[in-house]
Amino acid sequence: MDFVILNWLQAHITNGFFDPIMVFITHLGDHGLIWVLLSVALLFTKKYRKWGILALLALLCGHILGNVIIKPWIQRPRPFSFVPDMTLLILPPTDFSFPSGHTMSSFIAATVFFFMDRKMGLLAYCLAALISFSRLYLYVHFPSDVLSGAILGVLLAWGLCLLFLRFCRKQE
């Protein structure tokens, strides 16, 4: 099913207009850069400082879970490795495919931002969805990698947010 979806996207969605847009969007998610920058920006506001710390902590936990533990354990090759004549629009990633780190970090940050402020969170979820879609568009992740990254990201961040809120209530 993964290849059916990826190949359908390649046949019906990819085009010269979207190519540079998807490359730009995917690079926003490189190393969770956009999310780290937004989280650091929160540190400079008194109202959201604790949320910035939580977002950075959640991103670190997600990196450890996804990139340090799960990817080396599962060792799933990337989709382009199965298609020898595939020309990628970005440099081929060298780590494993499952789960999508771009997606996981995006949904971690979006979930923390949603707990912090619903409007900001909804905007973050839109960007997270675009970054996730770009990974499919660029043929560097399977749909199941992206779906799993989103689920893991939301669950991890949701759990940390609930712990954070419980901790904040005890401090009052």
Catalytic residue numbers read: 102, 141
Per-domain residue ranges of the chain: 2-9+35-171
Kindly state the average pLDDT of the residues 98-127: 96
Indicate if the pLDDT at residue 156 is higher than 90.
yes
DSSP code at position 90: S
Q: What letter represents residue 112's amino acid?
A: V
CB 109 within 8 A of CB 58: yes
Residue 147: CB atoms within 10 A of its CB come to 16
pTM assigned to the model: 0.92
Model confidence pLDDT, tens digit, residues 59-109: 999 999 999 999 999 999 999 999 888 888 898 998 999 999 999 999 999
Place of tokens 């359908």: 8
Q: How confident is the model at residue 120 (pLDDT cuts 50, 70, 90)?
A: very high
